[in-house]
Structure 1
Amino acid sequence: MVKGGLLPTEFIELLDYIKDIKLHKHNAIKDINSALNDRDTYKKYDSAWLYVLLHMNNGWRASDFAYKIPRLDLPDKIRSISDFENTNLGLEDARYIVVQLSSKLQSLKHTKNQKTNYFFCSDELIPPLANALIICELRTRLLGTNKHYLIDFMNQRNEMLKGTHDSLFTNFKKNFIFGSLKMNRTFIGLMTDVVKKKTKRNPLEISKFIRNHSDLDTTNTYIDIPKEHVDYIASQLFDKGYFGYTYDLFSKVLLGETSISSDDPLRKSAVIKDIFGDIYKIENLARYINVIEQEDEDLFHYLNGHSENALQEKMLLLNFGQLPAKEANYQCIYGKCIFLDRDCNKCPFAVPHFYALTKIAANMEKRIIDYLEIHENSKYLGEKVRISNLLFSDLIVLSHAKQKFGADVLSAFIKIEYDDLKEQISALPSPYEYITIERG
């Protein structure tokens, strides 16, 4: 057992308590309204709620929570505490808020070791986390002493003091004491035991990944999760930021669906039609689609060639970020690159993470400019082929991201409306005659 960590049942009890939106939203807003009349009554309930929620999925240091959670843009319909008090946040808006946080955290580093902030949020915690983030943003606009970060305990070290702690946990079990170090140990211990129980991998293989979060000795972090709780706890530790055809097909095979029909929405032709409309039937593009769909069939047969247990292990390791590819923000379900000359965004075995959109979004504006320049002025067929392939591959990834996260989330992330981007693409000189049959 990890010294100072929570038992698995205690972790589940805390999770059930801290995700109670009705309770914590009411208490947080009540506390802020009280502070507007008398600052001395303010318990910093909203900051505490957000602070604890973030600890449930992330093993960061206390200082990273306190000084790294950035300000956020809110939907137009939420302009004040009174607006939000009577608003039930929909799942799409909740995802928008959490993905916005995720995208902003990607550029930040941990305070002590300057390594990348890997931010996790399980599906179950998206709604409560979004509510807490919105309340903290609204409070910051009203009475925050720190205008840069959302967690503000209003003391010199920005720590959650006893009065704030007791206010948040007044309706929880007696004598419970929350601590950042305790939650770090719990997070790492649970993750280690999930890997041990559900895969054939050595749990210590996750230590490099976890050490981006913590200085804890991962060789001494172990929690024995009862069998009946393993799957549920594992789902709370997963990173659900992966998307795309390969990831969706992987999930489909795991559910026991053993065929791909011609009208299956997972097929890339459906994605391509979403981008280009019926014009996708142009002969050369149709041949290209046939080639990549043959690769999709090969991927399908590869997945079906594994046992259910082997697939579950691969999916778990993928969601834990333990199947890295040769490019950042991709995972390789094959395990070892077999297409050395191919970019990950054109490989059937590579699964993009939401963070991969950062590079695509940053490149898209330049890609369109280069595309126009090359197609209008270059005399070299090879240049036109290359830029057409790059543009086409990026658009497929963006369209898959739209399917997974929604058009609003994607538009906010790539800094342009998705439909406007499609219009820009449709106005370009036709790429179809230059898209190659080979995908390397």
Structure 2
Amino acid sequence: MSTEAYEVFLEGFNELTNNKLKRTFELYRDFVAVQLSASNARNKMVNARQFVHTANTIINNLPLEIYSITDDHVEKILDNSQVPVRHKNVFLKFLIYCTGKMKCNITREYRLGKGYSRDREIYSPEEFLRIYHHTRDIETHVNQALSNRSYSAAWLFVLMHMIDAWRASDIVYGLPSVDLEEVGVTNFEWFTKKRLSKEQSLKIVNQIGSKVQKIEISKTGALGHFLVNLDMVIPSATALVIAEIHRRENNHQYLLQSLIGPNGTLQDVYAIKLFMQKNHELPRFQSRKANRTLLTYFFYSVAESGQHADIAYQMAQELRSHRHLDSTAVYIQATNKDGPLEKVSLHLFNRGHFGWLYNFLVKLYAQEDFTQYSLDEKTALIQAYRNEVSPLQAEAMASFLQSRMKEKKSVLYTIMKMEKQKVQDTLLKVLKGEMPSKMEFAQCLIYPQCVKPTAISCIHCEYIMPRAYLMLNIREEIGKLIESIRTSKFEAVRKRDSILLFKFLDLLNQAVVDLGKDYINSFINLTEIKNKLEEINGLILLE
């Protein structure tokens, strides 16, 4: 051991005093002596100083002797974003050293890896469901959120972990401001007798979604996604609106400014703790643990009733032995709808995608052994058409539907050739937004290949997997086509535009079936479109 390096360490370390940690300090001196002995000559002085910094940052602030601290104490240290990773690494090495020297109170195994690594737990389905319902309970939180901006920020912060797996810093720095004027709610007094309607809430959610799509969020530089489960629309909008009113009244730059400390790091853990303590049955909230849980349960939704009741999956193979997200394959503890096992009745699979192709891919993956089914049987899994939008009779659409089915069958053949692992990998990429198309609000089944490389738009491609915000484009295009059919004097133009119109109506119909009329009405006035279609009924040419 380098005597000089150890003396440098002792000079700094001996300035620290904590009479409650005498044994811990003795163990740390011994630990550092061992570590410096193993260091190469070039790094000894650097390491000596780092050991002092770690002692000052972590060791000297331990609430108990090292052998008495619990796993919760360790978790708090490792979850503290203000503590540099290098100090966490040293602390874990010291912790491992102590467990070899004496009986310690911790029960989990902590391992060093890239940066630092530890048991990556997730919340159990029951725990996650309790937190989920807690954040949805508007009446439990609204009054305190109105009177306390820190509580309001904590509500929105925790709620974001229930709908989108953003990093904590992205939530605080990435959530855009809210245009309150769009829904006519600009002050706290409005909430004394009223609550946001579903229509108002959808406007807020769609507004934030549109803004987030245009900004880079997270250190990856990727465009953001703000995807809200349908049963979270009103709670999310309520929390956003209240946070925005607080932001305006305090002239803050960020929506969750009260969670930002003086040096730019996240703070106000007390507010989050207070928010969670409203329900004493809730577990301690941890941001990364919540994100891991959401991403895991991303794949699992058992909707006991309503329009999403068909989405129920059997993926029970490996969750208990694979409780983290470090591999490509993610398996979820599942159950059937009538079973007594754990249920997570959340619409977490409703991430804004819709359409026959996306649904087919999901349902195909859900099959235990999909290779045993014939093409016709698999085709039968596709969502049925419903005449929710077009007033025309089904007979008038027969030719169009037949041609569309031919296109879809060609795609089905492509999917049928996939191995199940390929189907799973493709679905994972879709859920992560890693299968981009040429359009902003859609993805492509066969990315990075393209069957129509010269096309500017993907709207007519059979491989498109649209998302809800594509309705903004569809609304504009349907209006243009209806006007063209109404005013054109040329039969060829009306025939061309009629076929294009029905392709858009096909997409719109799928969106209504999958996402519901109320949701789609927040983008497009379906009644208005229906009336306009009736006006040009006699001008439409499909053959």
Cα displacement string for residues 128-157 of structure 1 (whole angstroms, at most 9, x for unaligned residues):
564143144257569961589764639897
Match of 2:364 among 233, 253, 256: 253
Instruction: Give the CA RMSD over aligned residues.
Output: 4.9
Matched, 1:337 2:450: yes
Match of 2:528 among 415, 420, 425: 420
- Other-structure match for 2:156: 50
- Other-structure match for 1:80: 191
Provide the rounded CA distance (Å) in 1 between the counterparts of 2:480 and 2:355. Answer: 24
Give the SS at the match of 2:332. Answer: helix
Which residue type is aligned with residue 243 of structure 1? Answer: F
Deviates more, 1:363-372 or 1:350-359: 363-372
Which residue type is aligned with residue 359 of structure 1? Answer: N
Matched, 1:18 2:122: no
TM-score, length basis structure 2: 0.55
Which residue type is aligned with residue 258 of structure 2? Answer: F
Percent sequence identity over aligned pairs: 16
Give the SS at the match of 1:68. Answer: coil
Tell me: CA distance 1:5–1:329, structure 2 relative to 1, closer, same or farther (3 Å): farther
Which residue type is aligned with residue 425 of structure 1? Answer: L
Which ranges of structure 2 fall in alignment gaps of 5 or more residues?
Answer: 1-112, 299-323, 335-345, 368-372
Tell me: CA distance 1:100–1:172, structure 2 relative to 1, closer, same or farther (3 Å): farther
- Other-structure match for 2:110: none
Match of 1:243 among 354, 364, 369: 354
Deviates more, 1:321-330 or 1:350-359: 321-330
Tell me: CA distance 1:295–1:383, structure 2 relative to 1, closer, same or farther (3 Å): same
Which residue type is aligned with residue 245 of structure 1? Answer: W
Deviates more, 1:64-73 or 1:395-404: 64-73
TM-score, length basis structure 1: 0.66
Provide the rounded CA distance (Å) in 2 between the counterparts of 1:430 and 1:236. Answer: 41
1:267-416 equivalences under 5 Å are 267=384, 270-271=385-386, 273-282=387-396, 285-335=397-447, 336-340=449-453, 343-373=457-487, 375-376=488-489, 379=490, 382-414=492-524
Provide the rounded CA distance (Å) in 2 between the counterparts of 1:189 and 1:261. Answer: 32
- Other-structure match for 2:21: none
> Alpha-carbon deviation of 1:332?
2.2
> Alpha-carbon deviation of 1:371?
3.6
Match of 1:165 among 244, 249, 272: 272
> Alpha-carbon deviation of 1:338?
2.3
Provide the rounded CA distance (Å) in 1 between the counterparts of 2:438 and 2:135. Answer: 44
> Alpha-carbon deviation of 1:321?
1.8
Give the SS at the match of 1:368. Answer: helix
- Other-structure match for 2:209: 102
- Other-structure match for 1:134: 238
Cα displacement string for residues 312-336 of structure 1 (whole angstroms, at most 9, x for unaligned residues):
2222222222223343332222342
Q: Is the 8 A contact 2:329 2:425 kept in 1?
A: no
Q: Aligned pairs, how many?
A: 377
Give the SS at the match of 2:446. Answer: coil
Cα displacement string for residues 320-369 of structure 1 (whole angstroms, at most 9, x for unaligned residues):
22223343332222342224466532222221122322222233434433
Q: Is the 8 A contact 2:135 2:235 kept in 1?
A: no
Tell me: CA distance 1:188–1:120, structure 2 relative to 1, closer, same or farther (3 Å): farther
Provide the rounded CA distance (Å) in 2 between the counterparts of 1:254 and 1:311. Answer: 6
Cα displacement string for residues 288-324 of structure 1 (whole angstroms, at most 9, x for unaligned residues):
3222212223333433333333322222222222223
Deviates more, 1:139-148 or 1:388-397: 139-148
Match of 1:266 among 359, 370, 383: 383
Provide the rounded CA distance (Å) in 2 between the counterparts of 1:286 and 1:129. Answer: 37
Give the SS at the match of 2:238. Answer: helix
Provide the rounded CA distance (Å) in 2 between the counterparts of 1:227 and 1:117. Answer: 21
Q: Is the 8 A contact 1:360 1:394 kept in 2?
A: yes
> Alpha-carbon deviation of 1:95?
7.0
Provide the rounded CA distance (Å) in 2 between the counterparts of 1:74 and 1:143. Answer: 17
Which residue type is aligned with residue 428 of structure 1? Answer: I
Which residue type is aligned with residue 153 of structure 1? Answer: S
Which residue type is aligned with residue 462 of structure 2? Answer: P
Cα displacement string for residues 389-424 of structure 1 (whole angstroms, at most 9, x for unaligned residues):
33222222112111122212212113xx21221211
Cα displacement string for residues 14-51 of structure 1 (whole angstroms, at most 9, x for unaligned residues):
74453132796455234246x3xxxxxx3632321211
Give the SS at the match of 2:166. Answer: coil
Which residue type is aligned with residue 458 of structure 2? Answer: C
Provide the rounded CA distance (Å) in 1 between the counterparts of 2:136 and 2:504. Answer: 43
Which ranges of structure 1 fall in alignment gaps of 5 or more residues?
Answer: 36-41, 196-222
Q: Is the 8 A contact 2:135 2:158 kept in 1?
A: no
Give the SS at the match of 2:527. Answer: helix
Tell me: CA distance 1:6–1:69, structure 2 relative to 1, closer, same or farther (3 Å): farther
Give the SS at the match of 1:413. Answer: coil
| Higher Rg of the two aligned structures | 2
